[in-house]
Amino acid sequence: MGHVAAFNLSLMVVLIIASVAGALLSSIAAIHALCGGLMGYLWIYIGWWKRNHNFHHIVGNSLDFDSDLQHLPLFVVSSKLFNSLTSYYYERKMNFDSVSRFFVNYQHLPFYPVMCFLARINLFAQSILLLISNKKVPDRCQEILGVMVFWVWYPLLVSCLPNWGERFIFVLASFSVTSIQHVQFCLDHFSSIVYVGPPKGNDWFEKQTMGTVDILCSPLMDWFHGGLQFQVEHHLFPRLPRCHLRNISPIVKEHKLMDHYGSKHPKEKPPSESLL
């Protein structure tokens, strides 16, 4: 059983490294699509991610349209959410009730535990809820098959470990490492300007630049952030491969684009300042 577990773990690591490396180092669309498919079997449903993330790019940091800012009853990023806004992504009202008031008063305490454990569970749940909904889902049967394969494979992998202690530690570790991406998103967006309503056709550029911040880091740490530290550039050029984001960052910062659209580059922040 130990050899089986070691083989499965090694295979999982190889697939994850191949998927991430392909997405970061290649500019070929077919390779990006293949890597996305691999990550779908190892992570979350790719169709849900495309739907959610495309929505986010269109209405980034809109309190009532961008689902990435809608975390009641646990978290709020603006006092405007106290007015029980309607979520146009989830098609329901976000009631700020007594339960929400209690959690929000102490939202700084469970932040990292939620990022480490509940955030990934939420992604799993959102993926499944979309697949069983009546919304239009491309390749629904294939996606359901992929999710089923994951939920058969993952428990089998965990069962290969010799005892419940090691199984618990493995699941805990596999969930916790994904918190890096969740925290990065919070750094890039939660500390930025938010607004209510959809963006207008003539203010898209301003909304994209003011709704995100870049995270200062050395080029030696680009492998760690994977391009997520260049959120301003990513939102302006969403289809640009991540390996080129650092190259275009000076062009954006030198206001060659900002001056043209009458906007300003948002302040770059170190990770510690964004957390605060």
SS3 93: strand
Residues, the chain, total? 276
Read off the amino acid at residue 210: M
pLDDT for the residue numbered 2: 45
Rounded Cα distance between 73 and 6, Å, is 40
pLDDT for the residue numbered 100: 92
Number of H helices, E strands in the chain: 15, 2
How many CB atoms are located within 10 Å of the residue 107 CB?
16
Contact 100, 73 (CB under 8 A): yes
146-159 CB burial, b ≥16 within 10 A, e <16: bbeebeeebeebbe
Distances (CA, A) of 65 to 57, 128, 209, 231, 253: 11, 21, 17, 19, 28
pLDDT for the residue numbered 119: 87
pLDDT for the residue numbered 95: 92
SS3 269: strand
Look at strands 86-87 and 92-93 and give their pairing.
Answer: antiparallel
pLDDT for the residue numbered 175: 83
Residues in the chain predicted with pLDDT less than 70, given as ranges, are 1-27, 29-45, 202, 255-276
Taking only the tens place, the pLDDT of each residue in 17-38 is 666 666 566 667 666 666 655 5
Rounded Cα distance between 233 and 259, Å, is 15
Distances (CA, A) of 139 to 135, 146, 180, 231: 12, 11, 30, 30
Which of 234, 260, 216 has the alpha carbon at shortest distance from 60? 234
If you search the block for the tokens 């260049």, which residue do you land on? 230
Rounded Cα distance between 66 and 90, Å, is 10
Sequence ranges of the domains in the chain: 1-42, 47-275
